[in-house]
A and B are shown apart, each in its own frame.
Chain A
Amino acid sequence: MTTEPSVDPKERKLRRRRRASSLREKRVLLARRASKAYGDLVAVAPLNLSIRAGERVALVGHNGSGKSTLLRLTAGLLDLTGGRIEVCGAAAGSSEARAAVSFLPDDPVLYDDLNVREHLAYIAALHGVQAELDSFDDLLGRIGLLHRADDLPARFSRGLRQKTSIALALVRPFQLLLVDEPFIGLDAPGKEALLGLLDDAHQGGATVVVATHDPLYVERVDRCVALRDGHVIHDGPATPDEVLGLVGG
């Protein structure tokens, strides 16, 4: 009979802490009883969610289910009412979390006085990527925006503004890409290009979370999280038909 060598309690505590820390590192997104309310309107009920590095997740739900709110809370754009959200071990909205998260919103917000290239250079610089104005041609070409690269997005259509926003989300480093209703306003080639770029980002090692109404998108992901009235009602693999059932389609 062998006996386990006795371990110093301090050492045990240290090991436990290291183990927890390494688990946290693998978790790119960790929500613990995260909630958001506007007065007596609950947008996100206390919610627990853990997403590991390299996962590709679809966030589905009907209108008002809390998808966009959850993404904005994670990006740090909204203040939590309760609970906590961590991105790569740092509190959402902190400097470390902001460096790790790229948020592609459903409403493109752009500067009036910068053209597309300048936008890209500016955002890249704000994230520590030093690049020349013509070094974005590959990315712009892939989303079909190269011919408008020197134009002001203020004069663009909704779809072109969305494409500019996509480019801005991908021009900077990130570990977690949050995408909110990305296909709105995009033409068929634009949608195909975006799907390709999301695949590439995932293959490049990033975790990708996409909030969408498109049930077909769940075929491309490993995991589907369905929300209803701010609660998680499904977490795991799902087929498009199951998604339609979950979100009441």
Chain B
Amino acid sequence: MLLPVADPDADLEQSLAHWRRYRKRRRIADIDWVDALYRADLTALLGGAAIYALAGIIGGERLTTQELHWVATNGADCLGVVVALVLAVGLRSGSRGGPLVLEHADVRHVLLAPVDRTTALRGPALRQLRFLAFVAALVGLVVGVLAARRLGPPVAAWMGSSALFTVATVALGYGAALVAAAVRLPSWIGTALGVALVGVAVADAVDAVEGSPLTAWGHLGLWPDAFSPQLVVALIATLAVLGVGFARVGDVSLEAAERRSTLVGQLRFAATLRDLRTVIVLRRQLALELPRLRPWLTVKVRGTSRFPVWTRGWQGVLRWPAARMGRLVLLAAVAGLALRGVWEGITPLLILAGLALYVAGLDAVEPLAQEVDHPSRSQSFPVVRGSLQLRHLAVAVTTMLVVATVAAAAGLLVEPTASGALVAAACIVPAALGGVGGAAFSTLSDPLAAGGGDGGWSLVAPETAGMVLAVRTALPPALAIGGTLPLLAARAAFDDGASAVDAASTAGVAVLVGFGLVAVWVRAREELRARWEASLEHTFPSRK
């Protein structure tokens, strides 16, 4: 066999472009237009509902002169926080090989061919940016209209300003992601940079510090109110970051690109099914978050151990990578600071604290989740599965007690007082139990069960099934938020001149009872389900 010979004058990039056009033509020819119209219709409906909800949140009353002055003084700083968040997401995405999600076959065949990678990747990157900018512009226009109702005319100027802000923000985040991917920014540096940027922007927004660089982008959203030369700098900087990103798009790591191409599709599918456990596992694979070969501490295992589940749990936890440990500390700090804000009177921060504890709880119940991931193994044990799963909660609760203690310390550090320490101490156990309760419920709930085809739900009316699904989705974070309610009780008691610690302790008992109910559900749910199935079978013998 004669080996093929390449034409030295062949224009490889031209060939690539030709084949991409060919494939695009074929894809367009294969589009089911009825399906596409249905999707567009559905998107428009959902978009309309979102705008309606947003209008309700923003309201329509004109701001007072004092409020307008506040917007003029602090608005740009607050918008800077939004920019920081988008930038942080971009940096994190880029440090993991994003933002591009290439076709797996393209990674193998196009990027392994001697085609210029920058040319090969510029097209997909431009298409992705174009789509993001389009969505950002739409969102910006809608927010502009709604903002104009409160800030006053001219509406067109607010629409333009708002759209310019959202597009520039998205472009900055996208460009930062491209640059981070091109320079192969380590994931931990990407995360640290993002956290630092958000931290500075938040500190600037609450006037703790001055001079967050991202305030310049905030001025873009407020130029009808006051023109600042900083917005020109922001636009030029955005274009510069995008330019560098596109110039170096070909320097992306193939290893990261391939990992991303295989995992992101699965991740999106799992997210569509609200299969949180699969999302967590895939996200860890994407971030290469691998257990340590050597545990942080060695746990002695004896053959006659009376607590094998407890020992197994610690063996898993002590192999957690540093990144996961760091994430838990960060979540604890966020929860602690948010609870501090609740104590100071910003009640909605309770949701943020609860969500942070819920996400930390999802890491804490990892040994239990591993058991759920391998059902055939747990079925082979001579132990009732519910009992086995219940025993796994002990390690999760212990882990979350440490997390909640860190949260309490973070909240206290803002302004340490002895009475504050007592209240924080009273809130540690309920917060830990709430986080574990929510995470355990989420991990043990079958994401597909409420959709039909399981446990007799197929007999339930669609409206009821939808409600059950909504409850299943909302209950886990609600349980975690419930774990933080003792602080609210303590604040109310403090405001009334009663003992805050007593109030927190009393509310803590209620959380303990709630956690007990979750524990009973973990232990007995399979038996209860079996009885339910049996009774259905008895009542409706032709059901199957």
Interface residues of A (CB under 8 A from B): 38-41, 75-79, 93, 95-96, 98-99, 101, 103, 105, 109-111, 113-114, 122-130, 168, 170-174, 197, 200-201, 203-206
B113 pairs with A129, CB closer than 8 A? no
Instruction: Please give me the residue from chain B that is nearest to A111 by CB atom.
Output: B105
Shortest beta-carbon distance from A110 to chain B in Å: 6
Residues in B with CB closer than 8 Å to A127 are 4, 6, 12, 113-114
In the assembly, what is the distance between CA of A129 and CA of B114, in Å? 12
In the assembly, what is the distance between CA of A56 and CA of B392, in Å? 54
B3 lies within 8 A of chain A by Cβ: yes
Q: A114-B23, A174-B3, A204-B3 given as contacts; is B16 within 8 A of A93 (CB)?
A: no
Which of the residues B19, B254, B290 comes within 8 Å of A76, measured between beta carbons? B254
B interface bracket (residues with beta carbon within 8 Å of A): 35 or more
A126 pairs with B115, CB closer than 8 A? yes
In the assembly, what is the distance between CA of A170 and CA of B16, in Å? 19
B472 lies within 8 A of chain A by Cβ: no
B255 pairs with A77, CB closer than 8 A? yes
Q: A78-B255, A95-B116 given as contacts; is B6 within 8 A of A40 (CB)?
A: no
In the assembly, what is the distance between CA of A75 and CA of B109, in Å? 12
B16 pairs with A126, CB closer than 8 A? yes
B294 pairs with A77, CB closer than 8 A? no
Shortest beta-carbon distance from B94 to chain A in Å: 15
B108 pairs with A205, CB closer than 8 A? no
25 sample A-B contacts, Cβ–Cβ < 8 Å, listed by A number? A39-B288, A39-B293, A40-B294, A41-B293, A101-B112, A109-B107, A111-B103, A111-B105, A113-B23, A113-B27, A114-B23, A125-B10, A125-B16, A127-B4, A127-B12, A129-B7, A130-B7, A168-B109, A170-B1, A171-B4, A173-B5, A174-B3, A197-B1, A201-B1, A203-B1
Instruction: Please give me the residue from chain A that is nearest to B110 by CB atom.
Output: A126
Instruction: Please give me the residue from chain B that is nearest to A123 by CB atom.
Output: B109
The A contact surface, by secondary structure, is loop
In the assembly, what is the distance between CA of A101 and CA of B113, in Å? 9
Instruction: Please give me the residue from chain B that is nearest to A131 by CB atom.
Output: B4
Interface residues of B (CB under 8 A from A): 1-8, 10, 12, 15-16, 18-19, 23, 26-27, 30, 103-105, 107-110, 112-116, 184, 253-255, 258, 288, 290, 292-294, 321
Shortest beta-carbon distance from A172 to chain B in Å: 6
Residues in A with CB closer than 8 Å to B116 are 95
Residues in A with CB closer than 8 Å to B2 are 204
In the assembly, what is the distance between CA of A76 and CA of B8, in Å? 22
In the assembly, what is the distance between CA of A129 and CA of B15, in Å? 10
In the assembly, what is the distance between CA of A99 and CA of B113, in Å? 6
In the assembly, what is the distance between CA of A154 and CA of B23, in Å? 15
Which of the residues B6, B8, B290 comes within 8 Å of A41, measured between beta carbons? B290
B288 pairs with A38, CB closer than 8 A? yes
B7 pairs with A77, CB closer than 8 A? no
A128 pairs with B7, CB closer than 8 A? yes
Q: A38-B288, A39-B321, A122-B109 given as contacts; is B12 within 8 A of A128 (CB)?
A: yes
Shortest beta-carbon distance from B392 to chain A in Å: 25
The 3 closest A-B pairs by CB, nearest first: A128-B6, A128-B10, A200-B1
Instruction: Please give me the residue from chain A that is nearest to B15 by CB atom.
Output: A125
Q: A126-B15, A129-B7 given as contacts; is B113 within 8 A of A39 (CB)?
A: no
B19 pairs with A122, CB closer than 8 A? yes
Residues in A with CB closer than 8 Å to B113 are 98, 123, 126-127, 172
Residues in A with CB closer than 8 Å to B255 are 77-79
| Chain A CB within 10 Å, residue with most, of B8, B116, B290 | B290
In the assembly, what is the distance between CA of A99 and CA of B253, in Å? 18
Residues in B with CB closer than 8 Å to A124 are 4
